[in-house]
Amino acid sequence: MLENIKQISNPILRSIAAGIFLGSLVTIPAGLALELFKPPKQPTPESANKLVVYTSLASTAIGAAIGLSLGKRKDNEVDSNDLDDRELLNLGWHDWRKFIVMRKISDSDNITSFYLYPEDKEPIPAFMPGQFLTIKLDMPERTEPVIRTYSLSDYHQSPLYYRLSIKRELAPADTDLPPGIASNFMHDRIQEDSIIWVKPPAGKFVLNLHHSQPAVLISNGVGITPMISMAKAATQLNPLRHIWFLHGARDSRNHAFRDEINALAASHPNLHVIYCYSQPMVMDIGHYHQRGYVDAALIQNIVAPEMQQLCGSTEADYFLCGSTSFMDALRSGLRDWGVPDNRVMFESFAKAMPKAAKVGGSVTTVTSDSKEVVFSKSGQTHTWNPAEGTILEFAEANGLRPEYSCRAGVCGTCMCKISEGEVEYQEEPSATIDRGSVLICISHPKTARVVLDL
């Protein structure tokens, strides 16, 4: 019964329930005892009733105190059993909040970590290993802020700060595309004491810390960031679980957090590490395990036999994060090997390039597939056709500037209220969507009329 009472999150209700439970537990036997075993000098009915009442009150008070203590925790501490409750994790913070960059540290030739502390010095919520932060950057040369999402690269049960580790994105070779706007701004312009606007941790690409089945964390490049969070959380909260940490890099200059992961593995024997370097240097000898790439053959030939020996089975959960081609190849290879798709989790923030805005507004031809889209906040009504793309692209083409980041249904930044009609998604969203809201980055109008709060 006490276990059930302990699950009540409201401290007042928990205290009342425990008081009633213990009061009843003591009062009923006390009353029966007075009836069945009367002493030689029987007390008056009034004194007997008083004794029962006092006993009941005392036991109820004790029970209430016990109920209240069952839920006490240290400030800002989140029990690992509550890690699936996103509302508890984000309690008290739902929108943008200012954070100060207290430390800026270079982790490799192209990855830099930023340690973010809340400007208001109030507690910050815990997060699930693998989640990301959404940040907003005000750039002097741009009229609109730039919003991006980056995985959290550290883990503490009661965090005092958040760490983001960001790769400088250069301009793609043989293209006219520019270098990464946000990543280069973070590397070049954001310094210690800079202020950044941050939304609370979010994302469904998370490691369940209660599972005992082995997990294989596979990454390349900057995809290592959520894997560090997962590895740290697992070793802290479920150290008996076997974790394989597989990471691929070009060489040691492009390998971030090597010493950090090595130190973690040295103190946790159930964390098994394999590094692959595709173009190792002479100085890298002794610092990597395989030359080449992390692929399904490596898992089948090296990881699986070790897993069979240690765990008695090769069944595992797989987590992938890295370049799109890297993850596509691994997913295909694991599927061919016989790993069920529901055992392979992955996250990609790769976004489609937005369509160019039309000069002079939207000019469309009404067809049988046309839908009426009302942007109520802007006072605009337009006709959408399938060629117009997603609702986000359609809004941009008509001069609106909704907030967005990933354009892949992952981060939830583009979420807005829908007051009439329905949308359909190009693919299943990864982000958690509030009731009465939709993600416009991967959706099309479904009904003949759609009214959005934009």
Q: Average pLDDT, whole number, for the chain?
A: 83
Place of tokens 């999402």: 149
Q: Which range has the top average pLDDT, 72-86, 338-352, 374-388?
A: 374-388
List C-alpha distances in Å: 316 to 88, 205, 208, 329: 29, 16, 13, 18
Q: Model confidence over 280-296: pLDDT tens digits? A: 999 999 999 999 999 99
Of the ranges 143-147, 164-168, 224-228, 288-292, which one carries the lowest mean pLDDT score? 143-147
Of the ranges 136-150, 161-175, 248-262, 331-345, which one carries the lowest mean pLDDT score? 161-175
pLDDT value at position 439?
92
pLDDT value at position 17?
57
Q: At 296, is the secondary structure helix, strand, or coil?
A: helix
Q: Model confidence over 19-48: pLDDT tens digits? A: 565 556 655 565 555 555 555 555 555 555
pLDDT value at position 30?
57
Could you give the domains of the chain? 2-72 (no CATH), 83-202 (2.40.30.10), 215-347 (3.40.50.80), 371-452 (3.10.20.30)
What's the predicted TM-score (pTM) here? 0.71
Cα separation of the two ends of the chain: 50
pLDDT band at residue 450 under the 50/70/90 scheme: very high
Strand-pair partners of 165? 113
Q: CB of 135 within 8 A of CB of 151?
A: no
